[in-house]
Structure 1
Amino acid sequence: MTPTATPEEAGLSSEGLDRVDAAVRRKIDDGVIAGAVTLVARHGRIVRTRATGLARRFPREPSRTDTIFRVFSMTKPVTGLAMGILADRGLWKPDDAVADHLPELRNLRVATGFDDRGRPVLADPDHPPTLRELLTHTAGFTYGTDRADPLTPLYRREKPLRARNLDDLVARAGRLPLAFQPGTSWRYSIAMDLQGAIIERLSGQSLPDFFRQHIFEPLGMTDTAFHTPPAKQRRRATLHYTGGPFRLLPVPNPVFGDSSRPPEAAFGGMGLVSTVGDYARFAQLLLNRGDWHGRRIVSAEAVTAQMTNQLPEDLLARGFRAGHMYLRPGFGYGYNGAVFHDPALAGAPVGRGTYQWDGAAGTWFWVDPEHDLLYVGMIQLLSYTAPPLQKMTQALLHDALLDHGRNR
């Protein structure tokens, strides 16, 4: 995505965009984040890219538009797109049982309670979890990170995200009970990591190779991968942690060590590094419904399914949280990302059909089909009190719209 435009040519106010940038800048000035890189595009043209603050504090290195960030869970929408590519080939359907593609998960049981020794009371699932449920976090898996969840000790014992490879991940998941009957609740989970294993088996390629050949290379995403090669490591931003007495403390990647070569276990739910410009290309592909400058990367039908809410309103009425995301009536979940299918009901200043997600280190993005608009923000802060930058920038960017039409 190389075309550019002035804000006014794209139906945006320069002063309004200044206010968006100022809100991010204040978090840097206040010492909340070290630096940020952001990008706004509308009608297929980049309107503004800003690099502010520092990518590295020691030694001092300013943020740049080509700074490389760990995007953590913003890997998930990319995995969803890869699943769409395989759906186009007729290799899976939403109502397929997960075990049809991962036989190790054929004998899953459901934890219906726990005895006085903390052991799960198990029952058969009402139905085998399906791929639709896997793509929407409703299959019954979890991450095993919630201390209040009685399944957490079992996940800590099996350590699925410490698997040697994706086959090992599936084997470990097969020894864990489901947290609820499939389709009856929503739980942030290892579901997208299991999708990575499905992609490998259906394609016959490693997940990094599939992403590179079918998504990154066609889109020109030259800095996006599951590793940072040695020649690019100076461009990678420092990961910071804030919590308790610590403020912007440089820390190593706590999930996996940052790799300088393709890892054997590349997880579909996290692990990518990218730049703001690279990720904007992916976001633009979503807005284009799978077309990239006349080349069809994935079908419009697959992208539409990914960006369509798949959860019933009675389920959303219960409310579910994942970091800054709060699923609720009007704000549901598509495939591997959240969807504002009724912004008025959700009380959100975005267009209908806005699809978004974020990452553990504070990266965020959304695509708004109604306004033909996208925004990508990159920071590197692990913190339970990280600022809600997505919500802040969405409100300010909506105020910057000079028109509300899509075509231009």
Structure 2
Amino acid sequence: MDQARLKYLKEWQQRYVDQRKFSGSSVLIQRAGREVLFNAVGLRNIQENLAFDRDTLVRIYSMSKPVTSVAMMMLVERGLVHLDALVSDFIPEFGRMTALVPGAASIDQTEPSCSPTLHQLLTHTSGLSYPFNPGVLGDAMAKGDLVFKADQGKLVDLAADAASYPLAFQPGVRWEYSIGIDIIGRVIEVISGRTLAKFFDEEIFTPLGMTETGFSVVNGAGNRFASLYTPLEGEAMALTAAQKGSESLRLIDSYDNSPFLAAEMMSGGGGLTGSIDDYMRFAEMLRCRGKHQDLQILAPQTVDFMLNNHLAGDIASLGPKSFAEQPMEGMGFGLGGSVVLDPRRTRCAGSIGDFGWGGMASTFFWVDQKLDLSVVFFTQLSPSSSYPARAELKALVHAAILD
């Protein structure tokens, strides 16, 4: 990569800090397994003037989803489950489902529905939703606070509670960003007989050397854990009623008083915290088709399967009304992350087959097997829709690739 052109990326990071869009950020880029750039700017904690460093720990939120998807595929590889299995086979409460009728104006306008499959949960085609999505179901979930937050109790209980809501649509009909991969986390617990945290530690984090990643901030991290900010008034994830505030970096979760210090909920959809080097190890494992050093975490064919589009077309063609961490036009969805189908339609430079995802605190990663490229970007601003940082980052990275 051209180091002179990478200077534009560093300047871009600094502009975001100078303009008080991000308190701070870090970016790590590797090509062919070799580090070509690490750069950090700004602060992880404005109140105490603490720098955003390489060892800063952050909330990765929905970048947890690819990790949970890898865990599920480990169980598939071992012959313990198949993706067309019904979620009700593992969580009985999902055996009595209903779905909203098309055009429903209230939560009680429903019709009988089958239970979603595990594949539909992984690809956000199950009919489940999120509280910040528009519509009848999103409103009901917001009232019920069905979010899988770090301080919301046990996964077993919230997964069962999720089944008491109707689906937004019949499974397989549409795409809608959802808590589906949180439910997958509970399925992993049922099949493996281990907590999700224990499964992750034993099967993914320890083999990959991800010593600073977990649902709770690693012991002894202290003020290395970044604080979280928002430019919005009120709830930072209430996207349908978002109002910009007078303060662009309002503190909403301080490092020293965060539920992530001792998380109760093991949210496979959005509960992990960790370091940039840890997540790069995970991203590199995907780029290398399941391999890390001498270990094969997943078979190459399994990773290929995950990183291909599992939808009939792009996301936009499935009529989503929801928030998403990536563009919808020209973008497909694999297992746990998005897949570039046509860079022209995403209106952002990239390769066909790029795989990646982001988190609500504006974190982002992608891997590009054609270019032997892995990129991880960390910051802590919610919501991630506040600025077009991801498209800008991809443009800056690709502008520095001259071969």
**TM-score clears 0.5:** yes
Q: Deviations over 1:150-186 (max 9, x none)?
A: 1234324543335521211222012110110111111
Residue aligning to 2:112: 124
The yes-or-no answer on 1:198 pairing with 2:219 is no
Amino acid in structure 2 at the alignment position of 1:173? A
Write out aligned runs for 1:299-338 (5 A): 299-313=299-313, 316-318=316-318, 320=320, 322-328=323-329, 330-338=330-338
Residue aligning to 2:124: 137
Amino acid in structure 2 at the alignment position of 1:190? I
Compute the displacement of 1:274 (Å): 1.1
User: Does the aligned pair in 2 maintain the 1:308–1:341 contact within 8 Å?
Assistant: no
Q: 4+ residue stretches of structure 1 with deviation over 4 A?
A: 113-116
TM-score (norm 1): 0.89
Residue aligning to 1:250: 251
User: Does the aligned pair in 2 maintain the 1:141–1:179 contact within 8 Å?
Assistant: yes
The yes-or-no answer on 1:37 pairing with 2:26 is yes
Identity of aligned residues (%): 33
The yes-or-no answer on 1:84 pairing with 2:70 is no
Amino acid in structure 1 at the alignment position of 2:115? P
User: Does the aligned pair in 1 maintain the 2:315–2:328 contact within 8 Å?
Assistant: no
Residue aligning to 2:290: 290
Amino acid in structure 2 at the alignment position of 1:142? S
User: Does the aligned pair in 2 maintain the 1:352–1:369 contact within 8 Å?
Assistant: no
Question: Alignment partner for residue 160 of structure 1, among 146, 151, 155?
Answer: 146
Amino acid in structure 1 at the alignment position of 2:140? L
In 1, Cα distance between equivalents of 2:222 and 2:80? 37
Structure 1 residues 314 and 82 mapped into 2: Cα distance closer, same or farther (>3 Å)?
A: closer
User: Does the aligned pair in 1 maintain the 2:131–2:147 contact within 8 Å?
Assistant: no
Amino acid in structure 1 at the alignment position of 2:155? L
Structure 1 residues 153 and 63 mapped into 2: Cα distance closer, same or farther (>3 Å)?
A: closer
Amino acid in structure 1 at the alignment position of 2:296? R
Residue aligning to 2:225: 236
**Alignment length, in residue pairs?**
386
Amino acid in structure 1 at the alignment position of 2:146? P
Residue aligning to 1:111: 100
Amino acid in structure 2 at the alignment position of 1:130? T
Deviates further, 225-234 or 178-187: 225-234
- The CA RMSD measured in Å over matched residues stands at 2.1
- Corresponding residue SS for 1:40: strand
Structure 2 unaligned regions, length at least 5: 233-244
Compute the displacement of 1:348 (Å): 3.1
User: Does the aligned pair in 1 maintain the 2:230–2:381 contact within 8 Å?
Assistant: yes
Amino acid in structure 2 at the alignment position of 1:74? M
In 1, Cα distance between equivalents of 2:176 and 2:6? 35
- Corresponding residue SS for 1:277: helix
Amino acid in structure 1 at the alignment position of 2:272? L
User: Does the aligned pair in 2 maintain the 1:158–1:172 contact within 8 Å?
Assistant: no
In 1, Cα distance between equivalents of 2:104 and 2:351? 48
Structure 1 residues 272 and 150 mapped into 2: Cα distance closer, same or farther (>3 Å)?
A: same
Question: Alignment partner for residue 149 of structure 1, among 112, 135, 138?
Answer: 135
Amino acid in structure 2 at the alignment position of 1:123? E
In 2, Cα distance between equivalents of 1:76 and 1:354? 16
Question: Alignment partner for residue 179 of structure 1, among 164, 168, 171?
Answer: 168
User: Does the aligned pair in 1 maintain the 2:315–2:333 contact within 8 Å?
Assistant: no
Compute the displacement of 1:242 (Å): 1.0
Residue aligning to 1:3: none
In 2, Cα distance between equivalents of 1:323 and 1:160? 18
Structure 1 residues 144 and 402 mapped into 2: Cα distance closer, same or farther (>3 Å)?
A: same
Compute the displacement of 1:129 (Å): 1.6
Structure 1 residues 385 and 109 mapped into 2: Cα distance closer, same or farther (>3 Å)?
A: closer
Q: Deviations over 1:295-319 (max 9, x none)?
A: 1111222211221111112763255
Amino acid in structure 2 at the alignment position of 1:161? V
In 2, Cα distance between equivalents of 1:242 and 1:319? 29
Structure 1 unaligned regions, length at least 5: 1-11, 404-408
Amino acid in structure 2 at the alignment position of 1:40? I
Compute the displacement of 1:341 (Å): 2.7
Q: Deviations over 1:241-289 (max 9, x none)?
A: 11221221121279x942334x342111111111111111100000011
Amino acid in structure 1 at the alignment position of 2:36? V
In 2, Cα distance between equivalents of 1:13 and 1:176? 52
